[in-house]
Amino acid sequence: MRTLLFILLFLCTVSSRAQSFGNGNIVVVRIGTGTTPMTAGMAQPVFLDEYNPCGELQRSIALPVTVSGSNRRLTLAPLATDYTEGFISLSEDGQYLALAGYDAAAGTASVAATTSATVNRTVAVIDPSGNVNSSTAFSNRFNTVAVRGAVVNGSDLWVTGGNGGIVYATVGSTGTSNTLITTSTGRCLGIYDGQLYASSTATGLRLARVGTGLPTVTGQTMVNLPGYATSGGSPFQYFMTRLNGSDTVNVLYIADNNVLRKYSLVAGSWVDNGTIGLFADKYRGVTGIEQDGIVTLYTVRRNDIGGELIRYIDSTGYNASFSNLKPVIIAQADSNTAFRSVAMAPQAVSPLARTAKTSTATLRVLTDVKNPMVMAELTAPQPVTGVVQVHDLNGRLLYTRKVAAIKGKNRFPLQVPAGTHGLYMASFISLQGHLLTSKFIY
């Protein structure tokens, strides 16, 4: 039987003064300051809240509420009827976030119904240091309808909104200098394996490829993913990854019809691998990261009443049901605010490139059948600080502790439930993002 090993890129230290996003952290789009009542359709300030995987708030980046130089305002409305605004995305290279909104003052009523000539639709691009470029604006697109999502690739942007199709533009462009590449509209945009994808409720579409590759000209066709339903449901944010040694994405997680779904690409068709949640849970945002075949998912649910940030660990693998996974609530929205969507934090170098191979430290676990004490031994070439954790092979967190190791050999006890003998995984991740793991039998 194949052994499922769990490795979680986990860093539970508060560092709110850091200027760069933390490796393995999560960014949540929050609408509202917490002091102003959430009036349906009214523009509100927007914040990007950075959490570490423990759910500890690291910092909040306020998007502009006043015009500053070339940077436009970016506000969003809570409590829309279908909650389709404010979907953030991470660029495929992992270095930039993109979010669309309105160049409108906070307090603007029925902001989605305004004309785009009067209230331009704007896009913010955020770099790994948290710098915000909100200079991109549209005066001729998404007129009197919601602007929903955007994705960036270098200097190229794709934006979508209610019955406004999918538009191509370049970062910093304004006015009418953009191209409508397809009239079929989308909700959330993403790029995987160099291909543009969109979730949609247009006729015959639910999750679709947009043209071929990264299209920039008119006349593109959207093609629904084979095997994915072409009607019913209500798809929002999604995350795709590679499992089972695939060179291309072959596993999909998507918030659809208020539940979380998993699919695997089998013989050219996407196969349903089960659901998590009930209709009342209102799952609408999802992102994730894969490490050694284990997928850590972060989802946003119940954002009609504020919202919760949920973590799941999927160690079931390729083409296997994940329906029995248990949620861990790691953060909740405050009163008079709403979580809308979620993305992994951008990095100057993709987090997947940061592995233990860049570290000469070692980790091992010492056990003795005659002694109930389990000891971890961390050997470090220099002082290092990080977190040690123990998980079982179902991905359940059993123990966590912060460690400040000196140069040389460090030993410290680990707690494993008494009387539960079996195979476990210990992991250590440093503040620098170096990951060490050790499998042990207890």
Do 50 and 193 reside in the same domain of the chain?
yes
Q: Which of helix, strand or coil describes residue 73?
A: coil
Question: Residue 418 has what DSSP assignment?
Answer: T
pLDDT in tens, 118-150: 999 999 999 999 999 999 999 999 999 999 999
Domain contains 356: no
Q: Which of helix, strand or coil describes residue 116?
A: coil
Do 312 and 392 reside in the same domain of the chain?
no
pLDDT given at position 9: 33
Domain contains 12: no
Question: What is the CATH classification number for the domain harbouring 394?
Answer: 2.60.40.10
Pick the closest to residue 344 from 239, 259, 423 (CA basis).
Answer: 239
Do 419 and 337 reside in the same domain of the chain?
no
Report the C-alpha gap between 165 and 205 in whole angstroms.
Answer: 13
How many domains does the chain divide into?
2
Domain hosting 414: range is: 362-441
Do 400 and 268 reside in the same domain of the chain?
no
Domain contains 5: no
Do 367 and 271 reside in the same domain of the chain?
no
**Which of residues 299, 315, 344 is at a domain's end?**
344
Do 333 and 385 reside in the same domain of the chain?
no
Question: What is the CATH classification number for the domain harbouring 274?
Answer: 2.120.10.30
Report the C-alpha gap between 337 and 327 in whole angstroms.
Answer: 22
301, 307 Cβ separation under 8 angstroms: yes
pLDDT given at position 437: 82
Do 370 and 241 reside in the same domain of the chain?
no
pLDDT in tens, 313-364: 999 999 999 999 999 999 999 999 999 999 999 988 544 334 433 457 888 8
388, 397 Cβ separation under 8 angstroms: no
Domain contains 19: no
**Which of residues 344, 374, 407 is at a domain's end?**
344
Do 300 and 412 reside in the same domain of the chain?
no
Do 169 and 34 reside in the same domain of the chain?
yes
Report the C-alpha gap between 284 and 305 in whole angstroms.
Answer: 13
Report the C-alpha gap between 32 and 45 in whole angstroms.
Answer: 5
Domain contains 46: yes
Report the C-alpha gap between 288 and 343 in whole angstroms.
Answer: 8
**Which of residues 312, 344, 376 is at a domain's end?**
344
Do 311 and 424 reside in the same domain of the chain?
no
pLDDT given at position 167: 98
Domain contains 159: yes
Do 320 and 376 reside in the same domain of the chain?
no
CA distances in angstroms from 307 to 41, 259, 283, 348, listed in the order given: 18, 14, 9, 29
Q: What is the pTM of this model?
A: 0.79
pLDDT given at position 15: 36
Do 118 and 43 reside in the same domain of the chain?
yes
Domain contains 80: yes
Domain contains 137: yes
User: If DSSP states are collapsed to H, E and C, what string results for 136-203?
Assistant: EEECCCCCCCCEEEEEEECCEEEEEECCCCEEEEECCCCCCCCEEEECCCCCCEEEECCEEEEECCCC
pLDDT given at position 370: 61
pLDDT given at position 105: 98
Q: For the chain, list residues with pLDDT below 50.
A: 1-18, 350-358
**Can you tell me which residue has the tokens 């050790």?**
438
